[in-house]
């Protein structure tokens, strides 16, 4: 049921990559309730043409799945993991402890504490186990950071990132000009 909901929600706004293409990024989240936030990472990867997969993996409710996902990701060709979770958000840190791959954490704002609980849970990692934490609910930045990480070894992707930055700058300048006119 969860995967059906997940796939239909993704198809609404961002189409998942062809299953035959090896995903380079793993987007995982603690619950399907995180999907409205986490789909923004998928949108960015779609925009840059980066293949990815989306999975529900809970550190607390499906710890065995979390272990097998984290331990197998590297051998399956995943290069970066984006992990989103809310509340006692242990998923990104636990996954980072099990894989040598870079892990980007997305603190998801829950129904209480305004997402500060998620942020603190994800950002306060012990020395030796890094998680690159983005702002609360900012899965867009997680997607962009994943593209930059992959771009370090992929000149085409890095060129597309430069173009994105130029486009963003031009858009801001256009808006500023409009205001001044």
Interface pick for ligand RP5 out of 26, 107, 110, 143 (rule CB under 6 A): 110
Q: Shortest Cβ distance from residue 10 to ligand RP5 (Å)? A: 17
Q: Shortest Cβ distance from residue 21 to ligand RP5 (Å)? A: 27
Q: Does 143 bind ligand RP5 (CB under 6 A)?
A: no
CA 48 to chain centre: 14
CA distance 101 to 103: 6
- The contact pattern for ligand RP5, residues 1-40, with x = CB under 6 A and - = no contact, is ----------------------------xxx-xx------
Nearer to ligand RP5, 85 or 150 (CB): 85
Give bridge partners of residue 108 from the DSSP assignment: 86
**Residues 52-71 interacting with ligand RP5 (rule: CB under 6 A):** 58
DSSP alpha helix (H) spans, the chain: 2-13, 35-48, 63-73, 91-98, 116-123, 139-151, 155-180
CA distance 25 to 45: 9
Interface pick for ligand RP5 out of 86, 105, 107, 151 (rule CB under 6 A): 86
Residues 6+ apart with CB under 8 A from 82: 25, 26, 27, 28, 38, 41, 103, 104, 106, 139, 142, 143, 146
Interface pick for ligand RP5 out of 25, 50, 85, 132 (rule CB under 6 A): 85
- Residue 11 CB coordination number (10 Å): 10
Question: Which window, 68-76, 80-88, 133-141, 156-164, contacts ligand RP5 (CB under 6 A)?
Answer: 80-88
Residues engaged in binding ligand RP5 (CB under 6 A): 29-31, 33-34, 58, 85-87, 108, 110
């Amino acid at each position: 049921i969860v995967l059906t909901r997940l796939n239909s929600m993704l198809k609404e706004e961002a189409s998942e990559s062809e299953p035959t293409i090896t995903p380079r990024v793993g987007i995982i989240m603690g619950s399907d309730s995180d999907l409205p936030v986490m789909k923004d990472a998928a949108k960015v990867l779609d925009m840059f043409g980066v293949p990815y997969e989306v999975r529900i993996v809970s550190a607390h409710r499906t710890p065995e799945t979390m272990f097998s996902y984290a331990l197998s990701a590297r051998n399956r060709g995943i290069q970066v993991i984006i992990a989103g979770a809310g509340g006692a958000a242990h998923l990104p840190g636990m996954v980072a402890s099990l894989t040598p791959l870079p892990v980007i954490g997305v603190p998801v704002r829950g129904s209480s504490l305004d997402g500060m609980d998620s942020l603190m849970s994800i950002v306060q990692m012990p020395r030796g186990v890094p998680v690159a934490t983005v702002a609360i609910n900012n899965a867009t930045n997680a997607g962009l950071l994943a593209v930059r990480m992959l771009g370090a070894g992929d000149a085409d992707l890095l060129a597309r990132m430069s173009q994105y930055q130029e486009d963003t700058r031009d858009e801001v300048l256009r808006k500023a000009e409009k205001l001044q006119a």
